[in-house]
Chains A and B, each alone.
Chain A
């Protein structure tokens, strides 16, 4: 029997180590919408408890991680995921920093190259 202790007084038991790990992993990737800087693993908000319960039931019912996150995202939107999905809408968010960095580096080398040429 594997037990998983959480912030609040409830605990969940699983009959396999794999299920327990999936449970912990999922909870740490999901945002508590009431206390928005906490994950479902840490938050004591009643909604977090309810959602932990649902996720527990679904893991035991044999649902995949993908099923479970789809279930939550279809109800609460992408904001419930700590890691925003990589799609058209978030392209700028994911790629932006790298592109800015790339252009900065190009400009920097250009400046250095020019300075070297003069000298």
Chain B
């Protein structure tokens, strides 16, 4: 009887601890980091003018055969300046392309911004309306997608990229993708 009483006493306690565990985990989860449903999906189709060559277009076909960082940025995004500093350091990495999506921005301001801060991009697609951004599930800047050689989205990073994030999360993915054949 004593055992039954002890058990009855501890069950609510155990339940309480379990619930507190879930709530504690919930406190750590960042609601700003919305997971993307596009992971493992082919990159959404687009055909947009290039920033520096407005009579030429760039499209999702350009992803094929390359590992690409698809970086969503704008001149009205302050933290993008810091990220740009870091992206410039990545331009020497072999077999990695950095493509920009200039999101809901002004073409003249964007060109000036890149002249001023440096241009890490192999090519920049101009999405003035933001409609391509919607197709990619963009809800803020900066956001960066890793696209593999088959044009499949393999990862999405919300927020600016810095050295720590690159070393810990993004670069290991790139290395893994390099070993994949087309």
* Chain A residues close to B by CB (< 8 Å): 33-34, 36, 46-47, 50-51, 54, 73-77, 79
Contacts and interface: CB of A to CB of B under 8 A. Distances in A.
Interface in B16-64: 31-32, 34-38, 44
A36 B31 contact: yes
A47 B72 CA distance: 14
Interface string B119-137: 0000000000111001111
A46 B104 CA distance: 9
Given A33-B139, A34-B140, A47-B139, A54 B134 contact: yes
Q: Which of B36, B130, B131 neighbours the largest number of chain A CB atoms within 10 Å of its CB?
A: B130
A75 B44 CA distance: 10
A76 B33 CA distance: 11
Give the bracket for the number of chain B residues in contact with chain A: 10 to 19
A34 B104 CA distance: 15
20 contacts: A33-B34, A34-B139, A34-B140, A36-B31, A36-B32, A46-B104, A47-B139, A47-B140, A50-B129, A50-B130, A50-B134, A51-B134, A54-B134, A75-B37, A75-B38, A75-B134, A76-B139, A77-B35, A77-B36, A79-B34
A46 B130 contact: yes
A49 to B, nearest CB: 9
